Amino acid sequence: MQLTDNVVAKSGIIEPISRLYINSTTSLITAQWTASNSSSECIEGYEVCWNRSSLIFTNTTCSNVSASTSHSYSEQHENCIDYTATITTLGVNGSRSNPRFTSISISPLNVNASYINMTKTVTESSIVFAWQTSLEYPFCSISIDVCLLSTSSINSICMRAVSGELAIHLLKACALSQAIINTTISSLLIKTTTSHVEPIYTKSANSTMIQSVNVVNVTGRNVVLSWEPVYDESPCASYYSVCHLEHNSRGEPNCLAVDKTRNNITLQLLKSYTRYNVNVSAVFPDLTQSDVVVTNFRTAGKFHLNRDLNPGHSALHEDFSTDQDMRKLLIS
């Protein structure tokens, strides 16, 4: 070993460091290495160079450290910057070893709302996605891929944009789709992609959501109502609102929420022989309502007549659904 050191010293050859790696914490990156195999008497120190590269800039800073140093702290790291550490052993006679280098790329662990400011603007025929990088991460590039999968057909639309806005046009009004959104964060060396799926729907073409309301069946205490929606299952609505109130009443109507996938309801425990007014509308996610469709009905009733009051008749209870039926019996 002594002979080897003498040969190295005489020839002026300086051995490079034997191991180099970079550690990263939440705020700093550190280059660490194993010292050169050359004799300590022959080593002046080490030159440590950090290269910082992004999609929009690159720069290099170098400094010398003593021979007893085996690590070097860089400045606080930033996202979407690629760091390269280059270590060169410096000899006492001005010689330099072959450099050793290694790299690391710093990118966000995941893509979330604090990293990307994304908004969606929805109309009856288009969906526009707009986004921008948070001011805390100015060196990252963002691209968005969006696929809209129709829930009512096998059709799909897929688009990609890197400019900060993606617009999808010529969509059907009040149509529900599953949006698959892939967000990719890029630096020079690596890409990080996250995906999520969310339901999204276009707005209605206007405030008309219900074409008509029908009274299907009337009894003394119950009424079955049905309605014809403009859009099948009304995906752009949250639910239907059905409100009923006695005719000429000054009280508050009784309102019921109906799932938007249904188009009928049974109103129960009503008063017999009573006229009711009914309002049916769709309620949107912002709690505004569509145009209200109005109808009315009159419940039927039961007239009980004890035939024992008349000689020759047995006790009998008969039901009458209309005033006309009751009058016919009284006349008879």
Residue closest to 277 by CA, chosen among 300, 250, 296: 296
d(CA 271, CA 292): 24
pLDDT number for residue 313? 41
Is the predicted pLDDT of residue 248 greater than 50, yes or no?
Answer: yes
pLDDT number for residue 149? 92
d(CA 270, CA 264): 17
b/e map 143-162, b = 16+ CB within 10 Å? bbbbbbeeeeeeeebeeebe
CB 46 within 8 A of CB 87: yes
Residues forming CATH 2.60.40.10 domain(s) in the chain: 213-298
Give mean pLDDT, residues 46-63.
Answer: 94
Cα–Cα distances (Å) from 164 to 143, 148, 322, in that order, read 8, 18, 67
- Phi and psi at residue 184, to the nearest 5°: -115, 125
Residue 277 CA from chain centroid, whole number: 41
d(CA 269, CA 274): 12
Is the predicted pLDDT of residue 139 greater than 90, yes or no?
Answer: no
Neighbouring residues of 111: CB distance < 8 A, sequence distance ≥ 6: 183, 185, 192, 194
pLDDT number for residue 325? 43
pLDDT digits (tens, 9 = 90+) for 69-114: 988 877 788 888 899 999 999 999 999 999 999 999 887 655 555 5
Which uninterrupted H or E stretch holds 101?
strand 100-106
Residue closest to 128 by CA, chosen among 157, 182, 166, 176: 166
Pairing of strands 28-34, 19-24: antiparallel
Check residue 38 and report its DSSP letter.
S
pLDDT number for residue 187? 83
Is the predicted pLDDT of residue 186 greater than 90, yes or no?
Answer: no
Is the predicted pLDDT of residue 141 greater than 50, yes or no?
Answer: yes
pLDDT digits (tens, 9 = 90+) for 188-201: 888 888 888 999 99
Cα–Cα distances (Å) from 173 to 79, 164, 208, in that order, read 41, 25, 12
> Which fold does the domain 213-298 belong to in CATH?
Immunoglobulin-like (2.60.40)
The owner of tokens 């239907």 is: 240
pLDDT number for residue 160? 92
Is the predicted pLDDT of residue 305 greater than 50, yes or no?
Answer: no
- Band of residue 12 on the pLDDT scale cut at 50, 70, 90: low
d(CA 182, CA 145): 5
Is the predicted pLDDT of residue 319 greater than 50, yes or no?
Answer: no
* Sign of torsion over alpha carbons 231, 233, 235, 239: positive
d(CA 105, CA 116): 19
pLDDT number for residue 315? 38
Least confident of 17-21, 132-136, 267-271: 132-136
Cα–Cα distances (Å) from 322 to 255, 274, 329, in that order, read 27, 11, 11
Establish how many alpha carbons lie within 13 A of residue 52's alpha carbon, considering only the half-sphere containing its beta carbon.
16
